[in-house]
């Protein structure tokens, strides 16, 4: 019934054991792009260096045309990319960094500062608000585009509500520190880490798991392919069902449909309600049975003993089953 209630609210919980774990979450690690933000980037400024804007966009589209990353989707939105996508060789996506590809005999890099640094391309880092995507062609810096993302509706409320439950929240992101701290401030997360590679995110989760106890489990909420290792490692892995990559959704324990961040809180509340009903049912049935046994042994019930015993057994089973089923009609606040 608890899982049924969750599905009605657009939350897919992949097993009753996760209902148990959900009740015991002590820390939630959250990804930024796509999880706390919409991941629908607006392409703002385009700054080509040493080439025309047309040329710049052609190279950038070539690199991004085959990627599923929200950034790539935003850059390619409404553009005709099918022929460009087909013309590529040695396409490679570097998680948490960007894309490397060969297009019309040019080696193209598109991604964050780390990508260019690790390929030894000289460039000037941009400190403006937003997420810059740098482009390099044949090892030479070719400019950048500045993308802007928006924090999801109710993301702030999620952090506040988790706070009220005594659950710690930590923001983990592959983005640059300025953007991450801006989002963290906006939603009210005190602890945040930037410029993380997928394996760094997993390390945070693993270190937390090594230190946690049974009553303070570790959860991770993410959306991208790059979040999948952390989603798998966490005690409870949440994935955004809408924007999330297939890998993330497939490996998550709890999938949030429509990507509403507040549903992370709802799923915890549903799990807690389900456990409360289960505990009530067990305590109540034991109490009634022990009372009836005592009354019968004392001879208080006399002739009615048999009737009361049947009611206390079968009657109670029906009643408590109905009580469990009533969970499906509960409201979540």
Catalytic residue among 20, 31, 54, 214, which?
31
CB nearer ligand ADP, residue 2 or residue 132:
132
- Tell me the site size for ligand ADP, rule CB under 6 A: 23
Q: How far apart are CA 255 and CA 223, in angstroms?
A: 10
| Whether 31 is catalytic | yes
Q: Which does 244 bind (CB under 5 to 8 A by kind): Mg ion, ligand ADP, none?
A: none
Provide the CB-side half-sphere exposure for 186 (13 A, CA): 16
Q: Which does 133 bind (CB under 5 to 8 A by kind): ligand ADP, Mg ion, none?
A: ligand ADP
Enumerate binding residues for Mg ion (CB under 5 A): 31, 33-34, 223-224
Q: Does 226 bind ligand ADP (CB under 6 A)?
A: yes
Q: Which does 267 bind (CB under 5 to 8 A by kind): ligand ADP, Mg ion, none?
A: none
Q: Return left, alpha or beta for 200; rule: phi > 0 is left, psi -120 to 50 is alpha, else beta.
A: alpha
**DSSP at 190:** S
**H helix intervals, the chain:** 2-8, 16-23, 53-64, 70-76, 82-86, 113-118, 155-164, 177-187, 198-211, 228-233, 246-251, 262-298, 305-310, 316-325
C-alpha closest to that of 199 among 70, 95, 71: 95
CB nearer Mg ion, residue 31 or residue 149:
31
C-alpha radius of gyration, the chain, whole number? 26
Q: Which does 99 bind (CB under 5 to 8 A by kind): ligand ADP, Mg ion, none?
A: ligand ADP
CB 167 within 8 A of CB 199: no
CB 22 within 8 A of CB 271: yes
Stretch that binds ligand ADP, among 27-35, 84-92, 239-247, 281-289 (CB under 6 A): 27-35
Q: Does 259 bind ligand ADP (CB under 6 A)?
A: no
Q: Does 149 bind ligand ADP (CB under 6 A)?
A: no
Q: Does 98 bind ligand ADP (CB under 6 A)?
A: yes
Q: Between 123 and 142, how does the x/- string for binding to ligand ADP read (CB under 6 A)?
A: --------x-x---------
CA 273 to each of CA 16, 19, 217, 283, 329: distance values in angstroms, whole numbers, following the listed order:
13, 10, 18, 15, 12
User: 2, 48, 96, 244: which one contacts ligand ADP (CB under 6 A)?
Assistant: 96
- List the catalytic residues: 31
Q: Which parts of this chain interact with ligand ADP (CB under 6 A)?
A: 31-34, 64, 67, 69, 71-72, 96-99, 110-112, 131, 133, 173-175, 224, 226
């Amino acid at each position: 019934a608890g899982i049924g209630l969750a599905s009605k609210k657009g939350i897919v919980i992949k097993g009753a054991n996760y209902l148990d774990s959900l009740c015991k979450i002590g820390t939630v690690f959250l990804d930024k792009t796509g999880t706390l933000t919409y991941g629908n980037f607006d392409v703002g400024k385009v700054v080509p260096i040493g080439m025309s804007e047309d040329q710049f966009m052609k190279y950038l589209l070539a690199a991004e045309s085959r990627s599923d990353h929200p950034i790539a989707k935003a850059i390619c939105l409404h553009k005709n990319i099918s022929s460009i996508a087909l013309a590529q060789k040695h396409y490679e996506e570097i998680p948490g960094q960007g894309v490397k590809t060969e297009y019309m005999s040019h080696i193209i890099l598109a991604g964050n500062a780390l990508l260019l640094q690790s390929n030894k391309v000289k460039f000037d880092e941009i400190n403006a608000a937003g997420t810059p995507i740098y482009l390099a062609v044949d090892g030479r810096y070719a400019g950048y585009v500045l993308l802007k993302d928006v924090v999801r509706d109710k993301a702030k409320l999620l952090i506040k509500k988790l706070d009220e439950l005594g659950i710690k929240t930590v923001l983990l992101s592959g983005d640059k520190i300025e953007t991450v701290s801006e989002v963290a401030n906006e939603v009210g997360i005190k602890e945040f880490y930037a410029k993380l590679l997928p394996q760094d995110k997993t390390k945070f989760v693993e270190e937390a798991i090594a230190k946690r106890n049974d009553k303070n489990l570790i959860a991770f909420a993410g959306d991208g392919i790059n979040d999948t290792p952390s989603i798998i490692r966490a005690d409870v892995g949440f994935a955004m069902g809408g924007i999330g990559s297939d890998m993330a959704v497939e490996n998550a324990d709890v999938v949030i449909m429509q990507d509403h961040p507040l549903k992370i809180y709802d799923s915890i509340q549903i799990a807690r309600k389900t456990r409360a009903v289960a505990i009530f049912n067990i305590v109540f049935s034991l109490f009634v049975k022990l009372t009836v046994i005592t009354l019968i042994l004392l001879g208080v019930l006399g002739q009615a003993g048999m009737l009361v015993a049947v009611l206390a057994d079968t009657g109670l089973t029906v009643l408590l089953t109905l009580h469990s089923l009533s969970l499906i009609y509960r409201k979540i606040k």
